[in-house]
Structure 1
């Protein structure tokens, strides 16, 4: 599945509107002047207001399930805008798929 390479300043949200931030594991490979996002990165979410009953269950992390099958950055698979991910609560409860809203348009991968 092809798609544009994600970089650390791509806009990613959880299904409930929380904003994801990518903390890069590598800073050597750049696209648009920003480090390329990889499976080794830590993706955290802030501002999710999801509540089940009376207990808050906000999304706090993104776990990417299908990264690039061909592109590796320092040995770790790159993340594409077409990659499938899963937002999770602090208890690792699946909350839904993240939405990639804004991504660079120049570098495409498989």
Structure 2
């Protein structure tokens, strides 16, 4: 079984439900403590009994977003900027990349990428 790491809020919910199940505590008090409904407490109890600690972990934890740009493409953008499009600002560069290189990125992503690599816009 893989190790489950929870953040603070997930761990707080886990500890509260674990204590509730082990001591046969009051569901209404647990609902007040977690700021949720009694129905949600019942759902958490069932999940805890079926999956244990893993139930409280968010389902998308550790996944890369579908719209994330990979490191290879980022390096290609930096190389193209250094060699070919060195005089273009972020907005113009985004348009040039889409038109001639078939790379669709937003100008805000370009700004973020260049700030990480200590490159200023020519307009700065």
TM-score by length of 2: 0.22
Higher relative contact order (CA 8 A, sep 6+): 1
Larger Cα-atom Rg: 2
Bigger strand share:
1
